[in-house]
Amino acid sequence: MIQIIKKLMAAMLLTALVAFHAHAEDAAPDFTQLLAFGRLANVAYLDEDAINKELKLQDFQLVKRANVPGYAVTWFLAVNEAEKTQLIVVRGTDNAENAFVDVALQLMPDEKLGIKLHQGFMQSASNVYQQVLPLLHKDYQIITIGHSLGGAIANILAMYLDVDKYNVEKVVTYGQPKVTNVSGTRKYAHLDVTRVVTPKDVVPLVPPLDPVSMMNMMSLDLYWHQGKEILLLDTNEYAVLEGRKSMMRAARFMETVPDEKNVQHHMMSEYLRRLGNKAAGAKQVPYNTEFNLFGSSR
């Protein structure tokens, strides 16, 4: 049965890859900015004093910090009045191993967005949005940031903001899991989404598909990532993947068993270390992936 599912997923993936073409921009990533935003994603796990200290270094002021009742989610809103910029930074669960145990994996319709979303992430993002909405200014640009589950919420928040005609400047996430399917990604492809990942972090590679759809093998619904993926390789090297190449890399998850290295690669400390290596000077290298219909990739 597992082999059949893998083959069906592979066939669906190849079909989606033919239909969904995206290409990476030529402009090099701003690793100084990615490191700065990464520090904000990191302090979201700390206390308010640490948040205020980091915000001051980046010329922002804390507006509000709050929790989502019933969810392991905390967010904070910061503003730079001179530049008319607001930051929404979302912290996910403290326990990476429970990130997907504590939430529902099913893809569910979101009436506001007109697409399907991961049920658990949708519920968390909706709660955050209702809390933060009264504090936002429509004439300010907005940047959403998050790590892990927080990155998924930051991604969905940007879609909600876009629908309500807010000026979403960009979305930057670290170790973000998938939030929608191919059609959902297409509808919001105009959003500027940058997903920073490490090579052995499995969280950005899941969920692979809607588990409920497995009940009907002919209607499997694949999860799909938005935007540009910045893969932080060793030393000062990095690769840029998007669309089909990003999904081909994700196919490797089918062949591996997570271990302690995967947990280490998901931690913000590892993201900050690798970003620090790139901020002083980075070198883009090609990342080649071959995918076999029967589930092998390299």
Q: Confirm whether 114 is domain-assigned.
A: yes
Cα–Cα dist 153/228, whole Å: 17
Q: Confirm whether 170 is domain-assigned.
A: yes
Res 249: pLDDT: 73
**Is the predicted pLDDT of residue 246 greater than 80, yes or no?**
no
% of the chain beyond a pLDDT of 90: 60
Res 94: pLDDT: 59
% of the chain beyond a pLDDT of 70: 77
CATH number at residue 122: 3.40.50.1820
Q: Confirm whether 245 is domain-assigned.
A: yes
Q: Confirm whether 294 is domain-assigned.
A: no
Lowest model confidence (mean pLDDT) among 135-144, 220-229, 245-254: 245-254
Res 255: pLDDT: 63
Q: Confirm whether 292 is domain-assigned.
A: no
Q: How does pLDDT run across 56-110, given as a tens digit for each residue?
A: 999 999 999 999 877 778 999 999 999 999 999 999 775 544 444 345 678 899 9
How many domains does the structure of the chain reveal? 1
Tell me the three state secondary structure of residue 63: strand
How, if at all, do strands 74-80 and 180-181 pair? unpaired
The per-residue DSSP string of 96-141 comes to GGGTTTSS---EEEETTTTEEEEHHHHHHHHHHHHHHGGG--TTSE
**Is the predicted pLDDT of residue 17 greater than 50, yes or no?**
no
The per-residue DSSP string of 156-180 comes to HHHHHHHHTT-EEEEEEEESPPP-E
Nearest to 23 by CA among 297, 194, 245: 245
| Confidence at 242, pLDDT banded by 50, 70, 90 | confident
Q: Confirm whether 290 is domain-assigned.
A: no
**Is the predicted pLDDT of residue 12 greater than 60, yes or no?**
no
Q: How does pLDDT run across 37-57, given as a tens digit for each residue?
A: 999 999 999 999 999 999 999
Q: What is the pTM of this model?
A: 0.85
Which amino acid makes up residue 159? M
- Other beta carbons within 10 angstroms of residue 91's beta carbon come to 27
pLDDT, average across residues 187-204: 94
pLDDT, average across residues 258-281: 89
Q: Confirm whether 223 is domain-assigned.
A: yes
Residue 240, beta-bridge partner list: 230
Residue 19 belongs to domain spanning: 2-284
Q: Confirm whether 291 is domain-assigned.
A: no
